[in-house]
Amino acid sequence: MADRRRGILLGLSAYVLWGLFPLYWPLLKPAGALEILAHRITWSFALIVLVVVVRRRWAWVGALLADRRRLLLIMVASVAIALNWGVYIWGVNAGYVVETSLGYFINPLVTVCLGVVLLGERLRRMQWVAVGLAVLAVVVMTVGTGRPPWIGLVLAFSFATYGLVKKQIGMPAVESLAGETTFLLLPALALLVGLQLHGTGTFGHAPWHVSVLLGLCGLVTAVPLLLFGAAAPLLPLTTIGLLQYVTPIMQFLLGVLVFGETMPPARWAGFVLVWAALVVFSADQLRNGLAVREAAREGAALV
């Protein structure tokens, strides 16, 4: 019971920190989204390598280099997370915080759809209902606002792809992120060096606090990741599945209440449909989880 409470506290801390990200990225202006992304990759790499050195865990490097399939998967994961980070930073700083929250609301539904398409998994009836409601929500928003909610869709599909690939990689979070940021490091450094040489870089040229905050991108990225990594082994998947909604709820509230983004009727209707889909999806997940645990207990009793 104590482990479960500690896991919930750690997991909740991670999701709350992720939910506060919309307050952080605007502080890095006048840096653009690509420059912020490059700093995030570079400083994350530096911090994660430091963590690996302190923990003295190097055996995975040789194993990774010898495994071409895993290397390819790491490359795919790195592209997916770079796309996700970049679009998210741009969306927040361009005033689309509410739409970024949509991406993380529907991410679980996109994940199960990718499982069907790519892994041949089958959806239960209520899962199909949830997916149908989410698709209807996207149609309603597209028709009502005159454009598809592409920011949310890109975030949902990129993060779902990232999660699916990470599952296939089967590496701990810190080691996996070290591999991903290694693949992204050279392009990130090339961009930062180019900006500095052309005199358009923000680091060192903007007010000092902006440079400090850019340098803290690695810490901001790593801390919730490490908290989540510590929480995951202590919690069942159903609990993690419910906790994950803390982040988009916070993002949605920040977008509406703090940043004052407008919510026309079509957008409200779309979000209501999404929330209904998530209620159906979560209820089905909980019911299925209880059924699986009950079957396991019965099997153990027979043995």
Q: Are 271 and 102 in contact (CB under 8 A)?
A: yes
What is the pLDDT, as a whole number, of residue 234?
A: 83
**The pLDDT value given to residue 298:** 53
Give the C-alpha separation, 294 to 29, whole Å: 53
Asked if residue 140 is part of any domain, the answer here is no
**Confidence tier at 170 by pLDDT (50, 70, 90):** confident
Structural domains in the chain (count): 1
Q: Is the pLDDT of residue 37 over 90?
A: yes
Provide the pLDDT for residue 2.
Answer: 74
Average pLDDT over residues 121-144: 92
Give the burial class of 18: count Cβ atoms within 10 A of its Cβ; 0-12 exposed, 13-18 middle, 19 or more buried.
Answer: buried
Across the chain, what does the average pLDDT equal?
Answer: 88
Q: Cα-flanking dihedrals φ and ψ of residue 198, to 5°?
A: -85, 0
| Structural domain includes residue 293 | no
Answer whether residue 88 is part of any domain.
yes
Higher-scoring residue by pLDDT: 143, 288: 143
pLDDT for position 7 = 86
**Residue 74 CA from chain centroid, whole number:** 16
- 220: in domain: yes
Percent residues over pLDDT 90 in the chain: 55
Q: Of 54-58, 107-111, 178-182, 186-190, which one has max mean pLDDT?
A: 186-190
| Chain length of the chain | 303
Contact 106, 134 (CB under 8 A): yes
C-alpha 279/C-alpha 117 separation (Å) is 23
CA dist., res. 39 & res. 33, Å (int): 10
Please determine, for residue 300, whether its predicted confidence score (pLDDT) is greater than 70: no
User: Which percentage of the chain shows pLDDT scores above 70?
Assistant: 94
Would you call 192 exposed, middle or buried from its count of C-beta atoms within 10 A (0-12, 13-18, 19+)? Answer: buried
* pLDDT score, position 36: 96
Q: Is it the case that residue 254 has pLDDT exceeding 60?
A: yes
Q: Is residue 302 part of a domain?
A: no
User: Quick count: other Cβ atoms within 10 Å of Cβ 259?
Assistant: 15
Peptide bond into 108 cis (omega under 30): no
175 in a structural domain = yes
Distance CA 248, CA 254 (A): 10
Rounded to 5 degrees, what angle do the CA atoms 65, 67, 70 make? 100
Instruction: Supply the angle between the helices 33-55 and 217-231 in degrees, to the nearest 10.
Output: 50
Cα 97 to Cα 24: distance, rounded to the nearest angstrom: 12
Domain that holds residue 53: 2-121+149-237+252-261
Q: Is residue 215 part of a domain?
A: yes
Stretch among 55-64, 105-114, 140-149 having the lowest mean pLDDT: 55-64
Domain annotation covers residue 278: no
Band of the pLDDT at 295, cuts 50, 70, 90? low
Six-digit token string for 189: 């450094």
